[in-house]
Structure 1
């Protein structure tokens, strides 16, 4: 009997590059279609081709797959790369709406999907660079 523990990366758990590709395509399709995502879609270029490729490389590496992002871009420094975009609770929520829909559509392993959702939720929350509550972005009182 062996004491060897085999660790399976999230990348492998969700299905590898094919699922990453489908996830990103679904995510940006939802961003194009969801009324709640108009604000975050406006922060992106009209042509999403290069943006999709960057996110696919990032998610591949972030989930434990091959290092496709850092050799080209260096350390992700996500907050620094997004500092020019106002990201408050409303933007975080819109991003998560699109990402959760994409996860539900593409990741069949429920436990892996839940684990990935939790990690992406923490990441999205950390990306906020605007103070206040969700109503502030819509002119409410906070």
Structure 2
């Protein structure tokens, strides 16, 4: 990431930009990764439900260095605990990363920031694995 004191949240463009990234992520999941989408609550159209989309956007805003509204509303993320009921193996990890890469492509996350975020997202996605294979 460029030498700056700006957070990834700020470099992406703030709340609206992070919310757009989150929406494109779930749109890509719905379109390209149906097995992953089905691990989430779905709406009447078979798409990942609004509540999941909004909750992830709030988490992502804080995780990227923006306001900590997720923690204020839901407490510490405790990602592994909150996802323990969800079978996350290598194929689901990779599906998650494909959807996030597609989202970053669609919103045009630039060069060094993109490289930095890919590494960070990959670390978290791998950390979330709770099943072999």
Give the equivalent residue in structure 1 for 2:24: 26
User: Out of 28, 34, 37, which is 1:38 matched to?
Assistant: 34
Moved segments of 4+, more than 6 Å: none
The 3 A distance-change label for structure 1 pair 11 and 107 is: farther
Shift of 1:127: 0.2
Shift of 1:123: 0.2
The 3 A distance-change label for structure 1 pair 128 and 115 is: same
Give the equivalent residue in structure 2 for 1:72: 73
Name the CA distance, whole Å, in 1 between partners of 2:98 and 2:10. 24
Does the alignment pair 1:129 with 2:125? no
Name the CA distance, whole Å, in 1 between partners of 2:113 and 2:13. 10
Number of residues of Structure 1 aligned to a counterpart in Structure 2: 126
With normalisation by structure 1, the TM-score equals 0.84
Unaligned runs of 5+ in 2: 44-48
Name the CA distance, whole Å, in 2 between partners of 1:98 and 1:12. 22
Give the equivalent residue in structure 2 for 1:100: 101
Name the CA distance, whole Å, in 2 between partners of 1:17 and 1:109. 17
Give the equivalent residue in structure 2 for 1:17: 15
Kindly report the root-mean-square deviation, in angstroms, between the aligned alpha carbons of the 2 structures.
1.4
Unaligned runs of 5+ in 1: 133-142
Shift of 1:113: 1.3
If you compute each CA radius of gyration, which structure gives the higher value, 1 or 2?
1
With normalisation by structure 2, the TM-score equals 0.90
